[in-house]
Amino acid sequence: MEYLLQFTWKWYIDKYFENMRMLAPFHSIETFWRLFNNVPLCSTLDSGWNYRIFRNNILPQTEDVHNKQGGQWVLSINKKENLNKGFLELLLAIIGNTISEEDDINGIVVNCRNKYSRLSVWTSRGELDDRQQRLGDKIRELVPLADGNIVFKLHCEIVNKNNSAFLTKASLKA
What are the residue boundaries of the structural domains of the chain, listed by start?
4-172
pTM, full prediction: 0.89
Percent of the chain surpassing pLDDT 70? 89
At residue 151, the pLDDT reads 92
Pick from 6-10, 36-40, 68-72, 142-146: least confident: 142-146
| Nearest alpha carbon to residue 63 among 17, 16, 101 | 17
pLDDT in tens, 6-17: 999 999 999 988
Contacts of 15 (CB under 8 A, 6+ apart): 48, 49, 50
CATH number of 4-172: 3.30.760.10
pLDDT of residue 172: 62
- Residue 160 pLDDT more than 50? no
**Helical spans, DSSP H, in the chain:** 29-36, 80-95, 130-142
